[in-house]
Structure 1
């Protein structure tokens, strides 16, 4: 024969944390910790109509989140891909980024369209890596030329200062 206590129940971690937090708040109220807070006793500024999605709207506005259809987001990602690749240091990470982009494009092609049609095409990884390497070499050449020009300017100044 087992005895069953109807008032006994299992408490998981989330319930225990909630009960402890509630207990701490009740004790603080009893001590009067919340009596002199700024805005105490003043009316809360609420809108005239109830919007059930007020929190998501305020989050989108506060965090500047753009909720775009996948086809538009992929167009934007495609336009910004070269700039993102130029910040990477090695070919392996460039290939990984291009593969990730191509995977998202292919996945979007197999999903039902949500918005405008998808016109973004996957990128050729070899051609994209070659273009990245050319841009990187051109940046390095410009940097070397700027360093040489700065060195020539400092050398000239030193020559004229000696006289």
Structure 2
């Protein structure tokens, strides 16, 4: 166990000394990732970057980390691509109605986080877009 920091010694000096001693003992040799470049900064803080990497490494969608208002906004933006993969008009309508139900629920329940600025999706317009995308492919 490491000894306690002596009095009248700065915390920074004490920590640096502990690191130097560990390095001299070889405790940092052969660590995972040794010799590999650090990940490029994303502009987030280190903790956020770590969480994002771990979520992606686990095969999960990072959208789950968004506040509810932003998650709904992203879902509306991604809706055309999601609908394009559907095979039936009935399923397209079900997806749009489900999204609209969740948007209504969010407006009624005043979600925490940034303000909700998402409009309901026009089901008829979504179906027409879906038809056009199917005809074009």
The TM-score with structure 1 as length reference comes to 0.47
Give the one of 81, 84, 90 matched to 1:83.
81
Which residue number corresponds to residue 129 of structure 1? Answer: 127
Q: CA deviation at 1:115?
A: 1.3
- 3-state SS of 2:115 partner: coil
Distance 2:79 2:110 in 1: 24
Partners of 2:92 and 2:123 in 1: CA distance? 9
Per the TM alignment, residue 113 of structure 1 is displaced from its structure 2 partner at its CA by 3.1
* 3-state secondary structure, aligned to 1:119: coil
Number of paired residues? Answer: 85
**Counterpart position of 1:102:** 100
Structure number with the bigger relative contact order (C-alpha 8 A, sep ≥ 6) is 2
Partner Cα separation in structure 2 for residue 63 and residue 115 of structure 1? 21
Residue 112 of structure 1: aligned partner: 110
Q: Name stretches of at least 5 consecutive residues in structure 2 with no aligned partner.
A: 1-49, 57-61
SS in 2 for 1:114: coil
Equivalent residue in structure 2 for 1:69, among 67, 70, 73: 67
Structure with max Cα Rg: 1
Aligned pairs for 1:3-152 within 5 A: 61-64=53-56, 65-66=62-63, 67-139=65-137
SS in 1 for 2:113: coil
TM-score when normalising by structure 2: 0.55
Q: 2-side partners of 1:137 and 1:90: how far apart? A: 13
For the residues of structure 2 that align with 1:100 and 1:117, how far apart are their CA atoms? Answer: 21
Distance 1:126 1:68 in 2: 28
In 2: Cα distance, 1:102 partner to 1:87 partner: 19
Unaligned regions of 5+ residues in structure 1, if any? 1-57, 140-163
What's the Cα RMSD here? 2.2
User: CA separation in 2, counterparts of 1:90 and 1:60?
Assistant: 34
Partners of 1:59 and 1:68 lie apart in 2 by: 13
